[in-house]
Chain A
Amino acid sequence: MKKTITMTVNGQIMKAEVEPRTLLIDCLRDQLGLSGAKVGCVVGKCGACTIILNGLTVKSCMMFAVQADGAEIMTIEGLAGDGELHPMQQAFTDKSAVQCGFCTSGMVLTATQLAKDHPNASEEEIKDAIGGHICRCTGYVAIVDAIKEGCKRMSEQQG
C-alpha cells in the first residue's frame, strides 16, 4: 500500500514512505520535519502551504505526496543562506510586513519567484502574484511594499 518516494528537498535527496492519500504538505511537515509551510485552509485558498516544486510555486496541501516522486522541492527552510536572511526575507522585516507569521513563509517564496520573473514588478503585478495567499493581519500594504523592495534588492544582487 505504501510507496517510497524520493525527492530532492532544499538540495538534499530525501526518501519517504507514504500512502497514496498522504498530502504532500503532511509528508514535508510530519515526515521530513519541514514545518515552515503551514496547513491553512483545506480548499487551496490561503497559500500558507506554498512551496516551490520543480521551479514553480504550488500549494502543497492540494497535491498528493506520491505526485512529487522525483521532484525537486524548495521550502522556506531552504531559502536563507547560513546565518543570513535572503534579500526578500530581509525586505519583509525591513518593511514591517510580518505580524503573526503564519502566512509569511508561503508569501516569501511566492515573492522570490515573482522577483525572478519580474524584477520590476508593478504594484498590480505584485498583488496578482500574491493573489493565492491570505494574510489576516497586515492588510497587505506592508507586504506589497516589501515585495517591491525585495524585487529591487534581488535584481541588484544579481546585477
Chain B
Amino acid sequence: MAKKWVGTSIKRKEDASMLTGEATYVDDMQLPGMLHCAILRSDYAHANIKSIDVSEARKLPGVIDIITGEDVKEYPLAAAVEFAHFDLKSPVKQAYLLAVDRALYAGQPIAAVAAVDKYIAEDALDLIQVHYEPLTPVVSMEQALSEDAPLIYEEWGDNVQMQVPSKAGDVDAAFAEADRVIKVKIGEHRYCAFPLEGRAAIADYKPRTGKLHTWISSQASSAPRANFAKTLKIPEQNVSVTVPHVGGAFGTKLNWSVETIPCLLSKRTGRPVKYVENKIETFTIGPHARDYVFNGEVACKNDGTILGVKADVMFDLGIESSYRGTAIAKCVILLKTFLGQYKIKNYSFLSRAIVTNKAFQCSYRAFGKEQGSRFIERIMNIVARELGISPEEIRLKNYIQPEEFPYRTTSGALYDSGDYPGTLKRVLEMADIPSLRKEQARLEEEGRYLMGIGIASFVQPSGSAVPDGYLNGMEGATLKLLPEGGFILSTAHCTLGQGIETTLSQVVADEFTVTPEDVRVIIGDSDKAPYSSGGFASRGAAWVVGAAVTVSRKLKEKVLRFGAHVLKVEADEVELKDGKIQVKRDPAKSVSLHELATSVHFWPGAIGVLPDEFLYTDPSLDATAYWTAPNPPVSWAAPINLYCTHPNGAEVSTILIDKETGKITVPKRFVVYDCGTLINPDIVKHQYIGGALQGINGILNEELCYDENGQLTTTTYMDYLIPGSHEMLGETVFEHQETPSPFTPLGCKGMGEAGTFCSVSSVMNAVEDALGITITKTPLKPQTVLDYVKEAMEKGTLNRRREW
C-alpha cells in the first residue's frame, strides 16, 4: 500500500516561496504604464456634499484622472451577493462606489485619483476641495432607534435594514413550565480582522478588446468577476480575476466595492491602475464586524435542563450592508446556529440589523455563527452559576448524544457527527480541574492575581451549503494528468494562508497513489477553473476537498479503464498502486501513470492505447467535476440547514487578572477539537491556535471607537491594538479527535473559523469564574476589568464557592 498522505503533517508546499520573498502579493506586481490610485475620504460622518472642486488637483503634473460621485452614477454597485431570498425589511435600491451627494460615514470614499505614482496621487488629494454641509450623525443603536433619530435612508422610515423573527416549539409553554427564568445580556463591541495585507487591486482594462483583467487580494475569484462585470457594464466573459497570494483575510475580503474604483479608473484611462489601501483606510473605510447585543431570557429547570430561550438581538451594521459587505446575512445565520450542541426545543428570537453612520460591516471569522455560539456558551455558565451547578453538568445535561447523529436541531441545522460529552470530558481530564482549582486558591491567598478557569464547548457550522440560495451549492475542480505523469488540479478557490495547495495535493496524491510533489495546484484564477464560491465559511475541507476527491475519482475511473485496456484486462481487474496501474492478480503486469499518460497524449490510437469508445469521444486525461453536499435544504421555509459539516470542540482556559490594574493574561489553555478526518493535523492545529489569539485579543484589547461626532478614533495599529508577540497566549495543550463526517467524501469538516469560536467563550467564562459576576461590557481592557473587580469585591462574589 502506498503511503497515505491524508492524515500526515507534511510541510507546506507554499512555504519556500513565502520564506524567500518569491511569493507574489498584489502590491508586488507592476505592469507597464501602471497608474496609482489614491482615495479621498469623507471628513464627516454624515453630510451633504454640496460640491467637489477637482480643478487644482487636475492641474498637478502626473495626475491622469479623477472621479467623484458624479462620475459613478452610471455605475451603480452590483450587490455583493444576491439577496433575492432574504427578506430585507428595507432594501437599498442603489449604492455607489463613491459617495453620491451625501456622505454616510467618516471615511467613506468621496473621490479617487489616478496618477503616475503613488506620491503624486496623494499630493492630488490634498488639492481637492470638498464643500460639505454637515448633518447630525447617528452614532449608536439606541440613537438610531429613538423617535427623533435622523434617517440615514429616508425612504425606509426608520433605521432598521433587516428584522427577522424566528421561532420554534412552544416558548410560552416552556417559560410557564420553568423553575427559573434567568435574564442575560451579552454583547460584543466593534472590532475586526485587519489583516496585515489590506485591500489591494490592480485593474488592467484594454480599451480595444474591452477586456478587464484584475488582480485582487480576495477570498474569491469567481464572484468578483460577476461583480465587476455587472457594476462596470462589461460582459462577464471579458472579465478575468486573478487572486495571487493573499496576506490574510479572515472574512473581510469578500466585498469588492472599493476594488471597483481602480477598475473604473482603468476603464476610463485605458491604463492599468493599482490601488493598495493604506492602514488608515483599512480602519476608516471598513469593513468592520461584531458590535451586537443580545437581551435574552432563559427558561430552565432547577436541574439545569434548558427549556427555552428568548432573545432580542441587535446589530450595529454601520451603513447598509447589502452592497458593500454581506453582514445583514448574519442576522439569519445567527438564528440558525445559536443552539450549539444543545437540545433546546423552544425559542423565540427577534434579530434586527440597525444602520448608523459608521463604516459598513462584513463577515469576520465566523459570520454570525460565533455570535450564536458565544451567546449559548455564556448562557450555559451564567445559568449554571445561578442554579449552583457546575458548567460541566449543565452542558452534559443538555448535549446532543453521540448516538443521535445525524441530528436535526429545532432551527433546522443538520449535524453530521461528533461526541460532545466525550470531547468535553476529555478536555476536563487534560486540564485536571482539581489541580487548577488548587492553584486558583493558592493565588487568591497570595493576593496579587485572581485566577479564573473557564470551560466552553462549541459546534462550528462550516461549509455553507445552500443550493439555490445566496451562495451556490456546488464546487468544481479540473484535474489533468500531464504527458509526463504529473497532475494539475485547478480550482478557482483562493488561498488565504491555510496551506490549501498542500492539503489538496495530499488528497489527490492519495487518490492516485502518487506523492504530493506530483500534484501542482492552481488556485485563485477565475479563468482557469470552474466556478468557485471562494474561501470562506470554512468551506475548504468540505467543498474544495469534496471537489478534488470527486474529480480525482472521475479521472481515476478513466485512467483505470485506459490502463486496463493497455494491459488487456477488464477495468475491474486493475488497481492503482505506487503510481502504476497494475493487474490485481498479477502485479508484475503494470503500466505506470507516466507511460500511460505519454501514450494517451501522443499515441492515443495508433498503438491502441484508448478503448474505441473513448478514442473518438473523450480521449483526454482531463476531468472536470463538481461536488455538492448531500444534505442541502429543501426550501427556504424554516427549518433550514445552512452548513454541510459541523465540527465541534471544547476548551478550558485559565486567566489571571492583576487585581490592581485589571490587566488580564491567559497563561494556559486546553483544547480538544474534532473536525472529522484530518488531512494535515499540524495545519489544523496552528490555524486553531492562531484563531484563538485573534478571538481572545479581540475581546480583550481591540476596539473600533467612534466618538460622538461619528469620527473613528482608532485608525492605526497604534490605537487599534492588534496583538504583538508579547500578547501571545500561554501554553495551549491541543488534542485532535476525529469523528468523520458522513456528508463529505473523506469525512473532513471545514475548520478555518474554529479558533475564534470557543476561545472567546472560554475566556469570558473564565473571567466570570474569577469574579463570580456576569460580564456585559467588552472589550475587557484593564480599566473595564478593574471596574468589574471592584464590583465583585463589593458584592462579595470573589470567593464564591465553586461547585465543580
Q: Which of B18, B20, B728, B755 is close to A77, meaning CB atoms less than 8 Å apart?
A: B20
Distance to closest chain A CB from B494 (angstroms):
11
Q: Complex Cα distance A46/B247, Å?
A: 13
Q: Which of A76, A98, A131 contacts B21 (CB 8 A)?
A: A76
Known: A101-B497, A135-B196. A41 touches B694 (CB 8 A): no
Asked if A137 and B11 sit within 8 Å, CB to CB, the answer is no
Inter-subunit contact B193/A136 (CB<8 Å):
yes
A89 to B17, CA, bound (A): 10
Decide: A38 and B247 in contact? CB cutoff 8 A: yes
Cross-chain contact B19 with A136 (CB below 8 angstroms)? no
Q: Which of chain B's residues have a CB closer than 8 A to the CB of A130?
A: 725
Number of B residues, CB within 8 Å of A:
61
- Whose C-beta in chain A lies nearest to the C-beta of B282? A41
Do A98 and B18 have beta carbons less than 8 Å apart? yes
Q: Which chain B residues border A59 with CB–CB below 8 Å? A: none
A42-B280, A99-B499 in contact; A34/B21 too (CB < 8 A)? Answer: yes
Please tell me if A60 contacts chain B, counting CB pairs below 8 Å.
no
Complex contact A43–B718 (CB within 8 A): yes
Interface centre among B19, B27, B119, B498 (most CB of A within 10 A): B19
Residues of A within 8 A of B14 (CB): 98, 101
Contacts of A92 in B (CB 8 A): 15, 19
Which residues of chain A from 23 to 59 have any CB-CB distance to chain B below 8 Å in the complex?
26, 29-30, 34-43, 45-46, 48
User: In whole angstroms, what is the CA distance A105 to B16 when docked?
Assistant: 11
| Chain A positions within 8 Å of B20 at CB level | 36, 76-77, 79-80, 85, 89, 105
Tell me if B279 and A43 are in contact (CB < 8 A).
yes
**Assembly CA distance A102 to B24 (angstroms):** 10
Query: Interface centre among A30, A35, A75, A94, by most B CB within 10 Å?
Result: A35
CB contacts (< 8 Å) of B729 on chain A: these are 139, 141
Query: How many angstroms between the C-alpha atoms of A100 and B12 in the bound complex?
Result: 11
Q: List the A side residues contacting B195 at CB < 8 Å.
A: 100, 102, 136
With a cutoff of 8 Å between Cβ atoms, the chain B residues found around residue A101 in the complex are 14-15, 17-19, 23, 245, 247, 497
Cα distance A150–B790 in the bound complex, in angstroms: 46
Q: Is the CB of B19 within 8 A of A89?
A: yes
Segment from B289-297, B378-386, B679-687, B775-783 that makes contact with A: B679-687
How far, in Å, is B534 (CB) from chain A's closest CB? Answer: 16
Interface string of A69-80 (1 = CB under 8 A from B): 000000111011
Asked if residues A141 and B27 are in contact (CB atoms below 8 Å), the reply is no
- Whether A66 is near chain B, meaning CB under 8 Å from some CB there, is no
In Å, the complex CA distance between A21 and B122 comes to: 13
Of the residues A96, A133, A136, contact of B248 by C-beta under 8 Å: A136
- Near A by CB (< 8 A), chain B positions 12-52 give 12, 14-25, 27-28, 30
In chain A between 122 and 153, which residues have their CB closer than 8 angstroms to a CB of chain B? 126-128, 130-144
Q: 0/1 per residue, B685-721, Cβ < 8 Å to A? A: 1110111111000000000000000000000111000
Establish whether residues B197 and A142, one from each chain, have CB atoms under 8 Å apart when the complex forms.
no
B93 at the interface (CB under 8 A from A): no
Nearest A-chain residue to B692, judged by Cβ: A139
Q: Is A93 an interface residue (CB 8 A)?
A: yes
> B732 contacts the other chain (Cβ, under 8 Å)?
yes
Q: A85-B19, A99-B687 are in contact. Are A139 and B25 (CB under 8 A)?
A: no
In the bound complex, do residue A142 and residue B725 qualify as a contact, i.e. CB atoms below 8 Å apart?
no
Judging by beta carbons under 8 Å apart, are A140 and B497 in contact? no
Contact check, A105 vs B196: say whether CB atoms are below 8 A apart.
no
Q: A39-B276, A77-B21, A100-B496 are in contact. Are A136 and B194 (CB under 8 A)?
A: yes
Q: Which residues of A contact B17 (CB under 8 A)?
A: 101
Are the CB atoms of B717 and A35 closer together than 8 Å? no
Given contacts A40-B196, A136-B194, A138-B686, contact A105 B724 (CB under 8 A): no
In the assembled complex, B722 has its CB within 8 A of some CB on chain A: yes
Residue of A nearest to B496 (CB): A100
A100-B118 Cα distance, complex, nearest whole Å: 25
Task: Select B725's contact among A37, A40, A133, beta carbons within 8 Å.
Answer: A133
A100 and B247 contact, CB distance less than 8 A: yes
Task: Please list 28 pairs of residues, one from A and one from B, whose beta carbons are closer than 8 Å in the complex, sorted by A's number.
Answer: A22-B119, A29-B28, A30-B30, A35-B24, A35-B25, A36-B20, A38-B27, A40-B279, A41-B196, A41-B717, A43-B717, A76-B19, A76-B20, A85-B20, A89-B20, A92-B19, A96-B686, A99-B690, A100-B197, A101-B23, A103-B196, A126-B725, A133-B724, A133-B725, A139-B686, A139-B691, A139-B729, A141-B729
Contacts A98-B15, A142-B686 aside, 5 further interface pairs with beta carbons under 8 A come to A21-B119, A93-B19, A100-B197, A133-B725, A136-B193
Closest 4 CB pairs of A and B: A36-B21, A100-B497, A101-B18, A102-B247
